[in-house]
Chain A
Amino acid sequence: MIADILSGALLIGSAALSLAASIGLLRFPDLMSRLHAGSKPQILGLILMMLAISIQQFHWGVITTLLLIVTLQMVTTPVGTHMVGRAGYRTKYLRRSMLYRDELSDAVALAEERAAIEHERRQDG
């Protein structure tokens, strides 16, 4: 009985977090902000959902599979959003008027200088 109530509450919490992620995706003005909104609440929603499942089905096979699912999702979500953010930064999809501070432009300029020097050296020698 208590297990049912608890897993029901965790279920509703997970669904509310997914709804929060999608509302943030709709309402945020910029690509970079939408990256934050689309990935962070989903992980917590997944963890709550895994807790709800493990309360209902308390077997070791189920629990280890759920741990594997959460670990894989935690590993792959930053990779995907990082690639999207990198592609968005380096092309015309970045709106500089929305930024307060741009800490990456120095590193990008340094890397481009280094690449240009390497290119010249390769062409000379």
Chain B
Amino acid sequence: MTIAGAITGLLFAAAFYITVTRMIKGPSILDRMISTDVLLATMLCGFGGFIVVTGRTDLLPVMLALASLGFAGSVAVSRYVSRSESRTPVIGESRGTAKAHEHALSESNVPGRHQVGPLFASDAEAVVEHSAAEAHADGDVGEDVVELHDPAVHADESNGDENDR
């Protein structure tokens, strides 16, 4: 049992290190939220291993609390990672720098890419929709500073279904 406990501990430690590597490397915040979820589930199994090796049962309510509440972080973060049109901008940031920042982060900014425009037919539809939405949003020309607006106020027109609230 002690040998199995030692091997299990080494495997869990390796799993932790690799998940933290993804958390550091992950190019987006959603990658980091997934690795947080994986860390929580690994911690759950680690607590279970501790219970098996030492024979104590007072850690079971800890596992219960972890299992039932561990997902709230990723739900909260993904709730605020909504569309880029309705993202809350920084005060004083002008629309030009916001667009430049988005272009720098987007998928079309690949150095070796030669084809101008979308690669797939579904991308072509998305580009048409996006430019149509932007033509509506750029109604007031000449205003540089973007105001803060609450995404919860405009939540009913950003998604089609009502289950999203």
> Chain A interface (Cβ within 8 Å of chain B)?
4, 7-9, 11-12, 14-16, 18-19, 21-23, 25-26, 31, 34-35, 38-39, 42, 45-46, 49-50, 52-53, 56-57, 62, 65-66, 68-70, 72-73, 76-77, 79-81, 83-84, 86-88, 90-93, 95-97, 102, 105, 108-112, 114-115, 119
User: Which stretch of B43-51, B91-99, B139-147 is in the interface?
Assistant: B43-51
Evaluate contact between A62 and B11: CB separation under 8 angstroms: no
Q: Does B8 contact A (CB under 8 A)?
A: yes
Evaluate contact between A73 and B37: CB separation under 8 angstroms: no
Evaluate contact between B64 and A26: CB separation under 8 angstroms: no
A19 surroundings in chain B (CB, below 8 A): 11-12, 14-15, 18
Evaluate contact between B8 and A87: CB separation under 8 angstroms: no
Q: Can you name the residue of chain A whose Cβ is closest to the Cβ of B47? A: A49
Q: Which of A8, A65, A102 has the most CB of B within 10 A?
A: A8
Number of B interface residues in the complex (CB < 8 A) = 66
With known contacts A16-B11, A22-B18, A25-B35, A83–B41 Cβ distance under 8 A: no
Evaluate contact between A15 and B75: CB separation under 8 angstroms: no
Q: Does B83 contact A (CB under 8 A)?
A: yes
